[in-house]
């Protein structure tokens, strides 16, 4: 029997800029706002270029400038939602119909993934695309696509472990990665629109289990936790994309920061706000965070200061900081707001923002997918672009009550 939540719960869920925001006023910088307007125009040109490079039914993955090679994927790749999501964000700013038409075209290809139960990344894939579309250019069918996507994601939850399984592996493993915190927003949305509390409960249970087992005393996080699928006990704490099992993989820290900020927005449970604040302070107080706030690919990476940077981690951080500062106390909020400003300013500069007509149409350069696997190293990535544009949107529209 479907359990219904009290109507009062829906009043508090998924509301950015609520009465929980502090009274301090952070005023966006006029010069940076002009830079952001210019960023949008350049990004529109880039994504219209990218659209011309895509084979039918394919999604952009990355571009290798040294060989002029544009790499694509099918709709089942975990990043498939970021391309349409970015197109929709850019359409929202520019009202260029070519962007909306391209987003609608590629979302038709993506729609079948609503039934994909082999991946934990349906939040990335479906909420960053169809969820964004609901706010930018809604269609009636998008709601059911997202409900079906949430149902598919929920099939990967095991109450014995208390988590949604990330990667399928051998039967003796139950692998959960910190990235999965980013897929919970889809579940909160599903409870809001259907009244079925099971999605909400899965999200909260997953976040609680992750908070217990993924974080070290300093609030840095492991990348991968391997649970015993029979008992739910932790078998192994390790990395896959970071430098070492004991290191702080930069994008993983950003996923956690963003994920627990969303958890607080959706539940108003202060333990999640505390967790997000702890993660934020770990990042900003790290002696290994460069002054420009664009992190090395791993905070413990060897070869600093010449280690590779990760623009994708920076973009996720900037977007997360611009939400978290709305909920934090005034002093911490100011710190987060200024950190986001610093990141946006630097990602908007020539070191990271691609010159017009280059970079395969991607916006940002210098992201790192998985250096240990020698995959997508120092290249543009779709999620770097998506969260960068999201950060620009949040800064441009920033209001703090």
149-202 pLDDT, tens per residue?
A: 999 999 999 999 999 999 999 999 999 999 999 999 999 999 999 999 999 999
Q: What is the mean pLDDT of the chain?
A: 94
Mean pLDDT, rounded, for 273-293: 98
pLDDT of 12 above 50: no
* Enclosing H/E stretch for 92: helix 82-94
Of residues 194, 290, 302, the one with CA closest to residue 244:
302
pLDDT digits (tens, 9 = 90+) for 240-257: 999 999 999 999 999 999
pLDDT of 14 above 50: no
- How many other CB atoms are there within 10 angstroms of residue 212's CB atom? 11
Task: Choose which CATH entry (1.50.10.10, 3.10.180.10, 3.40.50.300, 3.20.10.10) describes domain 21-396.
Answer: 1.50.10.10
pLDDT of 11 above 90: no
* CA 187 to chain CA centroid, nearest Å: 15
DSSP string, 118-176: S-STHIIIIIIIIIHHHHHS--HHHHHHHHHHHHHHHTTEETTTTEE--B---TT-EEE
| Phi and psi, residue 309, nearest 5° | -90, 165
Strands 234-238 and 224-227, bridge-based pairing: antiparallel
CA distances (Å), origin 24, targets 10, 334, 337: 26, 8, 11
- Residues of the chain with pLDDT > 70, as a percent, come to 93
Predicted model pTM:
0.93
- Which residues does residue 353 pair with via DSSP β-bridges, in sequence order? 364
Q: Is the pLDDT higher at 328 or at 2?
A: 328
pLDDT of 118 above 90: yes
Catalytic, 245? Answer no
CA distances (Å), origin 334, targets 23, 280, 348, 400: 12, 12, 21, 11
Q: Is the pLDDT higher at 215 or at 1?
A: 215
- How many other CB atoms are there within 10 angstroms of residue 211's CB atom? 20
- How confident is the model at residue 399, as a pLDDT? 76
d(CA 146, CA 128): 10
Active-site pick, 39, 57, 96, 179 = 179
pLDDT digits (tens, 9 = 90+) for 188-227: 999 999 999 999 999 999 999 999 999 999 999 999 999 9
pLDDT digits (tens, 9 = 90+) for 22-61: 445 688 999 999 999 999 999 999 999 999 999 999 999 9
Q: Which residue has the tokens 């592996």?
A: 169
- How confident is the model at residue 25, as a pLDDT? 65
d(CA 299, CA 304): 9
- How confident is the model at residue 401, as a pLDDT? 47
- Cα Dmax for the chain: 57
pLDDT digits (tens, 9 = 90+) for 131-146: 999 999 999 999 999 9
pLDDT digits (tens, 9 = 90+) for 55-100: 999 999 999 999 999 999 999 999 999 999 999 999 999 999 999 9
Active-site pick, 39, 121, 196, 385 = 121
Contact at 8 Å (CB) between 310 and 367?
A: yes
Instruction: Give me 281's structure tokens.
Output: 């302070």
Of residues 1, 3, 7, the one with CA closest to residue 192:
7
Catalytic, 310? Answer no
């Amino acid at each position: 029997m479907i359990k219904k939540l009290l109507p009062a719960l829906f009043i508090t869920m998924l509301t950015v800029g609520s009465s929980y925001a502090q009274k301090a006023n952070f005023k966006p910088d006029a010069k940076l706002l002009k830079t952001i307007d210019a960023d949008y125009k350049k990004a529109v040109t880039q994504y219209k270029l990218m659209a011309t490079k895509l084979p039918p039914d394919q999604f952009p993955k990355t571009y290798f400038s040294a060989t002029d090679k544009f790499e694509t994927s099918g709709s089942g790749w975990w990043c498939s939602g970021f391309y349409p999501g970015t197109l929709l964000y850019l359409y929202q700013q520019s009202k260029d119909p070519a962007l909306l038409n391209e987003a609608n075209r590629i979302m038709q290809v993506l729609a079948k993934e609503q039934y994909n139960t082999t991946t934990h990344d349906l939040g990335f894939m479906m909420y960053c695309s169809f969820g964004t579309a609901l706010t930018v250019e809604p269609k009636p069918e998008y709601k059911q696509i997202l409900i079906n996507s949430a149902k598919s994601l929920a099939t990967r939850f095991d109450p014995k472990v208390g988590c949604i399984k990330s990667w399928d592996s051998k039967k003796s493993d139950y692998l959960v990665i910190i990235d999965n915190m980013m897929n919970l927003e889809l579940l909160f949305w599903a409870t809001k629109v259907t009244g079925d509390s099971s999605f909400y409960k899965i999200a909260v249970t997953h976040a609680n289990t992750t908070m217990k087992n993924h974080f070290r005393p300093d609030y840095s996080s492991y990348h991968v936790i391997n649970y015993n699928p029979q008992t739910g006990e932790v078998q192994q704490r390790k990395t896959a994309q970071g430098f070492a099992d004991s290191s702080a993989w930069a994008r993983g820290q950003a996923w956690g920061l963003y994920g627990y900020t969303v958890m607080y927005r959706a539940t108003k449970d202060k333990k999640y706000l505390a967790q997000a604040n702890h993660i934020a302070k770990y990042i900003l107080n790290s002696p290994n965070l460069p002054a420009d706030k664009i992190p090395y690919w791993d905070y413990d990476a060897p070869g600093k200061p010449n280690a590779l940077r990760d623009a994708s981690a920076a973009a996720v951080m900037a977007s997360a900081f611009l939400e978290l500062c709305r909920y934090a106390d005034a002093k911490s909020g100011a710190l987060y707001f200024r950190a986001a400003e610093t990141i946006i300013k630097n990602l908007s500069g020539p070191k990271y923002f691609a010159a017009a007509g280059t970079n395969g149409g991607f916006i940002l350069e210098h992201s790192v997918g998985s250096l240990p696997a020698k995959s997508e190293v120092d290249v543009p990535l779709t999620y770097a672009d998506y969260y960068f544009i999201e950060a620009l949107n949040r800064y441009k529209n920033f209001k703090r009550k």
